Amino acid sequence: MSAPTGPTALPEGLRARVLERSLGRRPAGRATPEPPEITPVEALGRAARSMTTLLGELTEDQWRRTALRGLDVQGLVGHLIGVESDLQRVLAGDAHPSILDHIGSTQPAAEGQAGRPGRATQDAWTEAVTESIRALAAADPQARITLHGARLSVSELCIARTFELWTHENDIRGALGLAATQPDASTLTLMTRLATDLLVRVVSRSGIAGQDRPLTLRLVLTGPGGGTWQLTSGEPAAAPASAFTTTAVGIVADAVQFCRLVANRTTPAALEAHVTGDPGAAEAVLRMATTLALD
Amino acid sequence: MEASDALLVARLAAGDDHALAEVYDACAASVYAVALRVVREVSAAQDVVQEVFVQLWTGPERYDAAAAPLRTYLMVLARSRALDAVRADARRAARQERHHRLSADAPPPPPDDEVAAREAARLVREAVRALPDDQRRLVELAYFQGNSYREAAAALGVPEGTAKSRLRAALASLERLLDHTLLESS
């Protein structure tokens, strides 16, 4: 949008007053309209119910379709049964080294489903995920546990698992030629918050390729569940954007597409992000987002 | 639809205050010009500009990028807010005039207020004269002679429902006529 030409001069100080009054009415960083707040356990429950609904509609033939990493739909749900088992062992205090490996530790459960009726696999997973949710709801939300090499609070783990169920549901939908789903705005809000928190931890720990100085990044995620965050490499936490700080790089992307990026289901090039500032630094940050592998 | 407008408003909805500053820099001069043309007073025009941008920031979802460019939307909003301010001033002036008429020892109103009130009254009388007969008669009975709409309906021999709908139509026509008149005069 270009500024119009015209003789009307704006009064001095009006800009500052307008911006100050606006931010006094609604702080920067938070999306509007704000969706109802839900707990991470509720978000996980919603993702589980959505997956259960999909699985309940599958024919035996559809259970055999190839879905991901050489696994058919049944094998992928078997992988989830393995994840539920690992999670419950970790929550019970069993920190066996094999639980460090997300794929390896769940492979027996994935392969063990072969030859069973799809309904039996569905029932086994539904029972397992119900038990996982019960155990997570009973745990201290701030307690930190390590599952598959990632150390997260119980609350963060619930949201990471919400990512996982949503992503695998859409893996199955993709294999069957069904339209992808997106989480509701309340769930998506938790997902984008976790993704940006984890991203800043990675950026803080590793720095940004090609940058020898701390870099301030403004990440704007649009649509329901979005928000605006300020990330500075070398600082330990993401913060909601504060008013009118200068930034070196700006990235604007759709919140759902960004969640697909951090779930490693799309690429930075396919994200259709609107970038301002140093494009190399923006690309490096988006590449780092794909390594979060929230799937 | 301008793609950049849709993106700007999506950023506003996401809480990106930089987007608000960008919209201000691009549109504030147009918004201020519209406001100033209507209210004719710098301080009041600034208030209108503030209201317009606060409304955009707190409710960006009300803007439909498919319906109009963002600048146009903000200018329409400014005009509407400015007319509200003018009407509020006119009502205030009328109240003051009534109050002064009733208070014998009250000091006379400032000359500017008196002029504004007289002008507002003149505009309203002209607008009422332009109404269709059945609506004009009802407005005179209900608003100039202090009757309720039931009494006005009885006086004209029409059902209460008819009187009510005619009054609604009359008020809508008056609003349109007054908006037009105020804009023309600005």
CB contact under 8 A, B15 and A223: no
* Identity at B137, one-letter amino acid code: R
Rounded to whole angstroms, the Cα distance separating A55 from A67 reads 13
- Written as one string, the DSSP assignment of A92-149 is TT---GGGG-TTGGGHHHHHTTTTS-HHHHHHHHHHHHHHHHHHHHHS-TT-EEEETT
Contact A100, A148 (CB under 8 A): yes
Of A6, A10, A244, the CB nearest to B17: A244
Any chain B CB within 8 A of the CB of A6? Answer: yes
Q: Residue B186 above 50 pLDDT?
A: no
Could you tell me which residues are beta bridge partners of residue A229?
Answer: A219, A240
Over residues A70-82, the mean pLDDT reads 88
Any chain B CB within 8 A of the CB of A245? Answer: no
CB contact under 8 A, A220 and B16: yes
What confidence category does residue B145 fall into, taking pLDDT thresholds of 50, 70 and 90?
A: low
Over residues B36-58, the mean pLDDT reads 94
What confidence category does residue B1 fall into, taking pLDDT thresholds of 50, 70 and 90?
A: very low
Statement to judge: residues B35 and B105 lie in one domain: no
Contact A277, A250 (CB under 8 A): yes
Residue B112 burial by CB count (10 A; 0-12/13-18/19+): exposed, middle or buried? exposed
> Which domain-ending residue is among B85, B113, B148?
B85
Over residues A258-282, the mean pLDDT reads 89
Q: What token pair was written down for A283?
A: 């690309």
Which chain B residues are closer than 8 Å to A247 by Cβ?
18
Question: For the segment A31-65, what is each residue's pLDDT rounded down to a tens digit?
Answer: 999 999 999 999 999 999 999 999 999 998 999 88
Residue of A nearest to B46 (CA): A14
Over residues B75-98, the mean pLDDT reads 84
Domain A40-176 fold? Four Helix Bundle (Hemerythrin (Met), subunit A) (1.20.120)
Statement to judge: residues B71 and B48 lie in one domain: yes
Statement to judge: residues B73 and B95 lie in one domain: no
* Identity at A175, one-letter amino acid code: A
Domain count, chain B: 2
Rounded to whole angstroms, the Cα distance separating B108 from A81 reads 86
Statement to judge: residues B106 and B30 lie in one domain: no
Mutation site, A18, A21, A231, interface B, largest B CB count within 10 A = A18
Rounded to whole angstroms, the Cα distance separating A249 from A283 reads 10
- Give the DSSP H/E element, type plus range, for residue A56: helix A40-56
Query: Which CATH architecture is the domain A185-290 placed in?
Result: 2-Layer Sandwich (3.30)
Q: CA gyration radius for chain A? A: 22
Question: For the segment B23-36, what is each residue's pLDDT rounded down to a tens digit?
Answer: 999 999 999 999 99
> Which domain-ending residue is among B85, B118, B145?
B85
Which chain B residues are closer than 8 Å to A33 by Cβ?
61
pLDDT for the residue A3: 46
Q: For residue B129, give every residue at least 6 positions away whose Cβ sits within 8 Å of its Cβ, in sequence order, or none.
A: B136
Statement to judge: residues B102 and B142 lie in one domain: yes
CA of B58, closest CA in chain A: separation in Å? 6
Statement to judge: residues B108 and B179 lie in one domain: yes
Instruction: Please give the residue range of the domain that contains residue B104.
Output: 86-185
Which ranges in chain A are annotated with CATH 1.20.120.450? 40-176
> Which domain-ending residue is among B85, B117, B138?
B85
Question: For the segment A250-260, what is each residue's pLDDT rounded down to a tens digit?
Answer: 999 999 999 99
Question: For the segment A216-245, what is each residue's pLDDT rounded down to a tens digit?
Answer: 888 999 999 999 998 776 655 555 555 445
CB contact under 8 A, B30 and A4: yes
CB contact under 8 A, A28 and B15: yes
Which residue in this structure is represented by tokens 């050489």? A70
Residue of A nearest to B24 (CA): A15
Mean pLDDT of chain A: 85
Q: For residue B57, give every residue at least 6 positions away whose Cβ sits within 8 Å of its Cβ, in sequence order, or none.
A: A22, A23, A25, A26, B12, B20
